Chains A and B, each alone.
Chain A
Amino acid sequence: MDQIPIPTMTTGGNPEALRAEVRAWLQQNVPQGWRAALTGTGQDAFVDAQRDWFQRLVKAGYATPHWSQEWPGGGRSLAEQKVIFEYVARAAAPRLILFFVALYHAACTVMEWGSEEQKRQHLPGILEGRVWCQGFSEPNAGSDLAAVRTRAERRGDRYVINGQKTWSTLAQFADRCLLLVRTDSSGAPQAGLTYLLLDMRSKGVSVRPIEQITGDDEFAEIFFDDVEVPVSDRVGEEGQGWAVAQSTLASERGLTLVELTQRMRYSLARIAGIMRERGVVDDPALRRDLGRLIPKVHAACALADRYLLKRIEGTEVAGDASIVKLNYARTLREFTLLGQRIAGLQGQYQEPFIRGGGMETGNWPFDFMNSYNWSIAGGSDEIQRNIIAERMLGMPREPKNWTLA
């Protein structure tokens, strides 16, 4: 990795200079016609395209702006990171889905909690294209993450893992897994969790892609059958897994929603184009629907921007992130519903979807179904509403000791 050039260091802490640089770079480097090339293809073509795009971004230093100064492309302020995400969105470039867990979740967790040995072992590999997946959710621990039941039993210098994870993004391609396991069931549910860095090639690991209602299979189940993990692959202390997992989840600091809301903003033009294509540009009902959607999309952007600013200034309060996510999920749903109304019956005839094409691909039934990723994953809308009600509005929590009447 010593030979990776660091072209971006010249602009230092200047977001304005960075804008011009990123824009010019994107014009040269966004693969031409990538949407068409990934329409109706298998996962392999998608994975190849992701690796190619990842390598370009790493070379330019744009994959790791959030890493510390000593890393290529690292040491960028949050404001500069936002510039990169915004311009990538504006250029309608591919999202870096396959490497997101590695670059954000894995890297930030290892940087914050890992030993020097773990940092040496894992961080350079991420820049070389090692793929990571997240092993948090289970069939009975989705929004309620503390309910994790996958067991890890200590035997000498190893943990022996048995259980199942699910909804792990692209785990079928992963080299390593951020694995949250239960080492103790005696106390509070959060207290008995431990965090491991699992080698996915370990004996007893099997991965089964989940065939989704969209026809895509970007998530997978992971099964553990007496899988042995060296204790040296543990991050943090035994029983500290909950705290480590919170760092993992906080690692993207709102940048994802800045990117996604910006993508939604630029997709408004696509909706206008489709109205024209379909010959419904004069339909007054559709025009009204579109007109009502526009300020909601801009508000979702404004909320995501403001949240990032609060992170920069350190003025975030509990519930802020929930407001951003809930608004985005609701607005995205409306966006895809309008897309379907515009497309009409024609839109219902099945067409191949674009792999990794974002949330507003123009295949509206696909986009509509895909939008549930945002209202369910990462804390469902209902969880966000609980957080907003309890932590922002100060409404009481439900008693823990309820029983069925």
Chain B
Amino acid sequence: MNPELIELRDSARQVLGESGLGASEHQTWPLVLDLGWLLVAVPEDLGGLGQGLAGACAFYTEFGRRVAGAPYVPAMLAIDAICAAGRADREDWLQRLTTRDYVTTPLADGELTLTSSRPGKPRLSGTAVAVPSADKASHVLVASSDGDCVALVPLRQGGVELRERPTWDRSRRLFDLRFTGLELERDMVLASGSAAQALCRRLATHRDFALAAGAVGGAEALLDLTVDYLKTRRQFGRPLALFQALKHRCADLKAQVAAAEALLQDALQRAGEALDGAAAGAAGREARLLACSAYAHVAEEALQLHGGIGMTAEHHCHLFLKRALLDQHLGRGGNRYDLDLADALLAGA
């Protein structure tokens, strides 16, 4: 991490720290806009901070650490798409998205089809799933399932049906968006054909890294809190942290979290700038698979190590657990991260 990014990250850590664990979207989204956090990965020539995906990931980690409610990842994905698509009016869009309007992006793969029958406008049908805070968004960024089209779709119009889908994780408010032959304005199509395919690959990789970075932050924070609890809680006349059976479990968790974090940084390096490339895609898949598995495992163990207090709603344990459980089902569909990695290795061997 460069010094500028470390400074940015530290200030984000401090500000998010002051809002407390599990702070709501209502509390944290104004911070995102006021402090310019959406500009982190925007290239400098477009008025951003030019910190790239590594910069974005540093922030995702901080949001994960605090289980913060702001829909930061979907907004960052939409902004990335607009920067990458190279439209003539992208600076206007960036101005809107980084200061005022919220554009959301699905965190999982839905089923969407776009039919463009000339000379008519393209029509969108199907369902986008796991779309965070869609009720607050002016637009949603969608890609057709075949990857041939990426478009921004205005949400405040007929032909779009929003359905809130509460999950156990209260740090994210997810929606299904149903489209029934919705006509798209041509100028809302960001990319089509091979350009859209490349953009889709880029966004899927970015999303994998975002999930990985958030999971690393959550896992690190939850392990710290768990170890602190074991040091404080006394039973049998001694702190629980003195029992070797518990120390070794914590050490294993620490080793797993350290591995996920090291892989995340290594994968970011391997991914480089060409986020639509196969190398970046594989790096992102690896980071996502290991980090989300590690987070889920830390969360599973943390609840047990906390004992009864962890089962109470007022304690913070469950905030992490529920986020970790949901994380494992976000990203690319079909529970295929492991299979995809094996496929790539077997194809190359």
Determine the chain A residues whose CB is within 8 A of the CB of B252 once the complex forms.
326, 385
Residue positions of B touching A, CB distance < 8 A: 227, 230-231, 239, 241-242, 244, 247-248, 250-252, 254-255, 258-260, 262-263, 265-267, 286-287, 289-290, 293, 337-343, 345-346, 348-349
C-alpha gap A246/B174 in the complex (Å) = 55
Can you show 27 pairs from A to B with CB atoms below 8 A apart? A269-B348, A269-B349, A276-B349, A287-B338, A288-B339, A290-B342, A291-B289, A291-B339, A291-B340, A295-B290, A295-B341, A298-B266, A299-B260, A302-B259, A323-B254, A327-B255, A385-B248, A386-B248, A386-B251, A388-B254, A389-B247, A389-B248, A393-B227, A393-B251, A395-B231, A395-B242, A395-B247
- CA–CA, A230 to B41, complex, Å? 67
Inter-chain contacts of A291 with B (CB < 8 A) = 289, 337-343
Contacts of B341 in A (CB 8 A): 290-291, 294-295
Contact residues of A: prevailing secondary structure: helix
Instruction: Say yes or no: is A296 at the interface (Cβ < 8 Å to chain B).
Output: yes
Q: Which residue of A lies closest to B240 (CB)?
A: A395
Q: Of all chain B residues, which has the CB nearest A290?
A: B342
- Do B265 and A269 touch across chains, with their CB atoms under 8 A apart? no
Name, among A272, A288, A294, A305, the residue most crowded by chain B CB atoms within 10 Å (CB to CB).
A294
Q: Measured between alpha carbons, how far is A269 from B339 in the docked complex, in Å?
A: 16
A392, CB-defined interface residue at 8 Å: yes
Chain A residues within an 8 Å CB radius of B265: 302, 306
Chain B residues, CB < 8 A from A288: 338-339, 342
Point out residues on A near B: beta carbons under 8 Å. 268-269, 272-273, 275-276, 281, 284, 287-292, 294-296, 298-303, 305-306, 323, 326-327, 330, 382, 384-386, 388-390, 392-396, 398
- Complex Cα distance A302/B286, Å? 12
A323 to B251, CA, bound (A): 9
Give the residues in chain A near B262, CB-CB below 8 Å.
299, 302-303, 306
Residues of A within 8 A of B248 (CB): 382, 385-386, 389
Closest 7 CB pairs of A and B: A291-B338, A272-B349, A389-B247, A302-B266, A385-B251, A291-B342, A388-B251
Complex partner residue of B342 from A294, A301, A394, CB under 8 angstroms: A294
The answer to whether B255 and A388 have CB atoms under 8 Å apart is yes
Taking the closest CB of chain A, its distance from the CB of B237, in whole angstroms, is: 12
Chain A residues with Cβ below 8 Å from B242 are 395-396, 398
Contact B255 A301 (CB under 8 A): no
- Kindly identify which residue among A299, A389, A396 contacts B251, using a CB–CB cutoff of 8 Å: A389
The CA-CA distance from A358 to B252 in the complex, in Å, is 26
